[in-house]
A and B are shown apart, each in its own frame.
Chain A
Amino acid sequence: MSRPELQAPPEIYYGDIEAKKYTNNSRIQQIQADMTYRALELLNLPPDEPAFLLDIGCGSGLSGEILDDEGYTWVGVDVAPSMLEVALEREVEGDLFLQDIGQGFGFRPGSFDGAISISVIQWLLNAETSHPTSSPPHRLARFFTTLHSALRNPSRAILQFYPTSDDQIQLITSIAQKAGFGGGVVVDYPNSKKARKVFLCLFVGSGGAQQVPK
């Protein structure tokens, strides 16, 4: 079967049934949890300090539950109402917003101590959305520019995603850089077709004291 992002826009693809299937699939749960912990590691927040985080494409709250467990206060945005419904049922603690990240954010400058995103931004690479007209580069630029502004200086955004080609990584990275981000790409298990995971590690300012962990 082809990738979900090639079949329909996320708010259509993740209808009530897909949203529940996705959330209740224990293999997906485990992968999402692993990637969330890895994203938090790469986020490199100062230890034992409370932080206010943005979960981009929070979906049904699989990553949000981990943010709750880790003691973070967070805001989650997602474009699929059915996913947010499931998140409500699961009683996650974060504030949830129905939002298309390709339209950008309205958060005031310096609102967040960091941002994570698990398996989401590949959706921005597809022109077909139910809110049409904007091309992927335009939507990506709007997303990264408003995200950069919403983050504190210094801080990081760690965005795990599924690119289909190196060209896609190149496109996304160059637009993020134009929006003001530093940083780069971390690839876990680069030689495994199944386990390979791409994390875009974006820095605002210095991104914090340390360099990208290996």
Chain B
Amino acid sequence: MVRLITHNLLACHAKGCTSNNFPLQFKDVAIEIREAEFNPDFLRGFLARLEWGALVDAARQLGDTSLPPEVPDMLDDDFLKSLHHVLLEIHVEEGAMICPNCQHVYAISNGIPNMLLAEHEIG
């Protein structure tokens, strides 16, 4: 149940890994699509929190190319529906997220990423 809404907020938290540690790169993923309730107010409010480029890239990695490269000036329904789908309906069930900096592998199993660090990685 890693969705892109959460992936977009997640950086590596291993010890000393403080730059170039976002976004985590997906590897060997299996995804599932599950419908979620459309809430345009939530999406509009959430936009400012997103790293847009990272979201577009992550969506492409998962096979969804519906998002424009820049946030449009007009947040029409078509755009918000694409955003809704990308953020909340694509679930990464298996695979891994890899830190671009320290290469720590956060394995995803049964939809749950393992964020536990080894002893030498704890800050």
Contacts and interface: CB of A to CB of B under 8 A. Distances in A.
Interface of A: 49-50, 52, 73, 75, 77, 79, 81, 84-85, 88, 93-100, 103-108, 110-111, 131-134, 142, 146
Given A95-B2, A108-B10, A108-B22, A131 B112 contact: no
Given A73-B5, A111-B49, A88 B112 contact: yes
Interface in B1-36: 1-3, 5-6, 9-13, 21-22, 36
Contact of B113 (A98, A111, A132): A98
Contacts of A49: 41, 45
B13 A52 contact: no
A131 B119 contact: yes
Interface string B79-113: 00000000010000000000000000000001111
Given A95-B2, A131-B122, 14 more contacts: A49-B45, A75-B6, A81-B112, A88-B1, A88-B110, A96-B1, A96-B112, A97-B113, A98-B112, A103-B123, A105-B13, A106-B21, A107-B9, A142-B122
Contacts of B45: 49-50
A59 B29 CA distance: 25
Contact of B13 (A79, A84, A94, A106): A106
Contact of A106 (B1, B41, B112, B115): B115
Contacts of B113: 97-98
A98 B1 contact: no
